[in-house]
Amino acid sequence: MMAWRLVGFGKPPQLQEVPIPAPAAGEVLIKVAGNGLCHSDVGLMDPRFDAPPFPGWQLPFTLGHEVAGWVESKGAGVSGHSPGEPVILVATESDGTCAFCQAGMDNNCDASGAGRGYGRDGGLAPYMLIRNARPLIPLRTLDPVTAGPLADAGATSMHAVRRVLPRLGRGSTAVIIGAGGLGSFAVQFVRALTSARVIAVDVNPARLEYAKSLGAHERLQGVNAATAADLRKLTNGRGAEVVLDFVGIDATIAAGLASARRAGAYGLVGAGMGTLAHPWFHLLPRDGEVFCFTGSSIADLEAVVKLAEQGLLRNDTERFSFGQVPEAYDRLEHGRLTGRAVVIPDA
């Protein structure tokens, strides 16, 4: 079969012939229906990036970590999951045995440093092998061709929102900075799961309009020196109970921290590599919480799938054929997609 593979860091992916894997004991072979493209893939192709971010990565590997498809075949000892079953796959690898997995914090699993599409073969191919059946979540009513983005863009955003749920009671405000792929899911999750007022912040008016259509109550365009003051005005001078930053550049970190109210929370999700240059003490929310994280857990994706199955989630996608992968990545990199890009492999 042909697969889109990363052959070197900082380089564009190449189409290469690889064997269709055969599942050994405990393993499952998945027939890929659709694979969502993620901005983190583009980061691996950036010429400034020249080394693996975590130990255990092996080049070359097939890209793609937003995967849904069907169970094709399985090795000995895998219970359930009959061939033909439609499934979506949790993006983060986990072993099910470490203390984090036992506590349901499997996105922190000791085995999660390398995984499908990030250091090992992922879903930009007609078939993909998984090491154990843990990531499989059955799809009952959702189309596996377009469900893939729920596995990362959706679930990573859900991880942030679930973490701050207790703070978002009646009369509270959630600020969502960056209304792109992850942020637009966050707007929907906060609306579906809480009674909080949602303020969406973005530089792009089209994305703000989209956030409004997804349920954002207020929109604020641009992130600059005045943003924190504008957000305070929108919250009666108090600041917001929760600020989730899906951008993570200097300007959003500064504005986001300054917009969280006393005892509020600021969550850094976006990988914009920004820094906080000023003295920390009076810029952090007093008695508050500042957190960051990576990825999402099995429970996060289950929660996303449940909302989507209830018809409470919009997951706008743009479909690309297998040959259009370079074009799709190019449009992703330059912000010219109208939904999450999903690649449909040629089997």
Binding site for Zn ion (CB under 5 A): 94-95, 98, 101, 109
Strand partners, 73: 29
- 73 vs 20, 108, 235, CA distance in Å? 12, 28, 54
Q: Which one-letter amino acid corresponds to residue 41? A: D
* Closer residue to Zn ion (CB): 101 or 243: 101
Least gap, CB of 59 to Zn ion (angstroms)? 25
Least gap, CB of 116 to Zn ion (angstroms)? 15
Cα distance between residue 79 and residue 77, in whole Å: 6
* Closer residue to Zn ion (CB): 99 or 226: 99
* Closer residue to Zn ion (CB): 94 or 252: 94
Single out the residue of 159, 208, 160, 217 nearest to residue 184, CA to CA.
208
User: Is the previous residue joined to 19 through a cis bond, with omega within 30 degrees of 0?
Assistant: no
Least gap, CB of 15 to Zn ion (angstroms)? 33
Least gap, CB of 112 to Zn ion (angstroms)? 7
* Closer residue to Zn ion (CB): 70 or 293: 293
Least gap, CB of 300 to Zn ion (angstroms)? 15
* Closer residue to Zn ion (CB): 5 or 134: 134
* Closer residue to Zn ion (CB): 73 or 132: 132
Cα distance between residue 246 and residue 270, in whole Å: 4
- 282 vs 51, 60, 83, 229, 287, CA distance in Å? 37, 47, 57, 15, 11
Is the separation of the CB atoms in 78 and 137 below 8 Å?
no
Sheet holding 14-17, edge to edge: 14-17, 2-6, 61-62
Query: Half-sphere exposure (CA, 13 Å, Cβ side) for 125?
Result: 29
DSSP 230-287: HHHHHTTTS-EEEEEESS-SHHHHHHHHHHEEEEEEEEE---------S-STTTSPTT
* Closer residue to Zn ion (CB): 104 or 323: 104
* Closer residue to Zn ion (CB): 77 or 104: 104
Least gap, CB of 128 to Zn ion (angstroms)? 20
Query: Half-sphere exposure (CA, 13 Å, Cβ side) for 247?
Result: 22
Least gap, CB of 155 to Zn ion (angstroms)? 17
* Closer residue to Zn ion (CB): 109 or 240: 109
Residues in Cβ contact with 187 at an 8 Å cutoff, skipping those fewer than 6 apart: 176, 179, 198, 200, 211, 214, 215, 216
* Closer residue to Zn ion (CB): 98 or 276: 98
- H helix runs in 46-199, sequence order: 99-102, 144-147, 153-164, 181-193
Least gap, CB of 91 to Zn ion (angstroms)? 15
Least gap, CB of 108 to Zn ion (angstroms)? 8
Single out the residue of 262, 259, 254, 199 nearest to residue 229, CA to CA.
259
Least gap, CB of 105 to Zn ion (angstroms)? 9
